[in-house]
Structure 1
């Protein structure tokens, strides 16, 4: 297993883990159990996304492409339910 990415938070880690799974790459989030120690542990560098050594390069490429993507224009709804516009 090789650490290929340090997510900013658990939500980003799980999002990327799901994206990699959809591409057939099994990824694991390390350090998830350390999040409860914030305050006594450093805030950054606790989480890591790991994959098998042979899939590391492909997984890095997919994450780079994912992070560089922009939302398609026109996909935004005209209004959001239950949101007060001021």
Structure 2
């Protein structure tokens, strides 16, 4: 298993796990149970997505494409140009 990405929060982690799962990649979220300790633990680096060694490179490519996604023209509000609103 390789730790391939540190999501910013639990919501992003769940979205990425679902996306990877739809591509046949089983992902494990390390640190999920530590989220209740925020305030006692450092905020950054608690969460980490891990996948099998064989699927790590493909999973990194998928996450890079996810992070590079741009809104379709006309989908973003005028007061938030360039922001993808889901």
TM-score bracket relative to the smaller structure: 0.7 to 0.9
**Root mean square deviation of aligned Cα:** 1.3
1:19 alignment counterpart: 19
| Distance (whole Å) between structure 1 residues aligned to residue 22 and residue 71 of structure 2 | 19
Number of residue pairs aligned between Structure 1 and Structure 2: 77
Superposition deviation, residue 73 in structure 1: 2.0
Aligned with 1:66: secondary structure?
Answer: helix
1:73 alignment counterpart: 73
2:42 alignment counterpart: 42
Structure 1 spans left out of the alignment, 5+ residues: 78-86
Structure 2 spans left out of the alignment, 5+ residues: 78-86
Q: Which string of whole-angstrom CA distances, capped at 9 and with x for unpartnered residues, describes residues 29-68 of structure 1?
A: 1100001111111011000000001100000000001110
Query: Considering only CA atoms, is the larger Rg found in Structure 1 or Structure 2?
Result: 1
1:81 alignment counterpart: none
